[in-house]
Chains A and B, each alone.
Chain A
Amino acid sequence: MRTVTAIPARMILLLLVWWVLTEGNLSGLAFGLAVVVPVAMVSVYLFPPGARRIRIVPFLLFVLFFLGRSVVAGIDVARRLLSPSLPANPGYLTFDLELPEGGPRWLLANALSLTPGTLSVTLDGARLDLHCLDTRDPVEEEVRAVERRVAGVFGLPADNWREKGGEVG
């Protein structure tokens, strides 16, 4: 059932992308349709729709949060680079994720690569290795903040995965 609704939904999304790519020129629409239909079908085969739906409002809030954090991240690195003493204390930190596997972990790992001071290195099951620009920074708080928001995007109940995260405060 999920697959049946996923194909038209992805076709609409891909058509929107096509419309954007052709800058609204309708003369390319026939070619676009000829590409969009098979691509949507193959995409469902290659990337089967997940069991979890993305919640629109938390997703938009996540995008805003992410944009804000990525601006902070850029300014943070720029500030370190321009400082004569080059303040940095790089190192690895490992975290046990409480998010379920699949989309949520993937989104978290990618988002963390662009949030201040963290870079996802390996994601092995629930274990995420991060390279940190400065291990003295409150990396744990950053990770848990992003994790909490990713959980919201996928509509995961907060108490379900926050029980173990209680020690983070």
Chain B
Amino acid sequence: MDAVVPWVQGILLMIGCAFFAIGTFGLFRFTDTLTRIHALTKVDNLGLGFIALALLFSAPSLAVAMKIALIWVVALAASATSAHLVARAVRAQEQDRAATREPHD
């Protein structure tokens, strides 16, 4: 059983890193801000989740395990909030542009 744990951890860490890589890849493949946010928030959240899950196996105490989980929860909340703020700013900018363009055209 003990011999299996490092392997499981290694696989989970690699899956986590793969998701981070894909999320960053999305930054290049998608061309507008909002779809990029979709890639970054959702995929990176999963990447961090897998890494946190892998580290849970080697947590020396319950408090440390909860700390790892807390880091993920806080990062999740920060990612949802900042995604929303950036999206709202983009929307406001688009509406501003549309409003200033119309009278001139």
Contacts and interface: CB of A to CB of B under 8 A. Distances in A.
Interface of A: 17, 19-24, 70-71, 73-78, 81-82, 86, 88, 90, 92, 109-111, 113-114, 116-117, 119-122, 129, 131, 133
Nearest to A110: B80
Range of interface residues on B (Cβ < 8 Å):
35 or more
Nearest to A88: B35
B99 interface: no
A81 B84 contact: no
Contacts of B22: 78, 81-82
A90 B41 contact: no
Main secondary structure of the interface of B (DSSP, over half): helix
Contacts of A122: 88, 91
Given A78-B19, A119-B38, A24 B29 contact: no
A90 B42 CA distance: 15
Contacts of B47: 74
A82 B37 CA distance: 16
Contact of B83 (A88, A90, A113, A133): A113
Contacts, number: 105
B64 interface: yes
A70 B42 contact: yes
A66 to B, nearest CB: 9
A120 B84 contact: yes
B42 A74 contact: yes
Nearest to A90: B35
Interface string B54-73: 00000001111011001000
A84 to B, nearest CB: 10
Nearest to B38: A133
A122 B67 CA distance: 32
A36 to B, nearest CB: 16
Given A78-B22, A90-B32, A17 B70 contact: yes
22 contacts: A19-B63, A20-B63, A20-B67, A20-B70, A23-B61, A23-B64, A70-B49, A74-B19, A74-B43, A74-B49, A76-B42, A77-B43, A78-B46, A81-B29, A90-B32, A92-B91, A110-B81, A113-B83, A119-B34, A119-B84, A122-B88, A131-B91
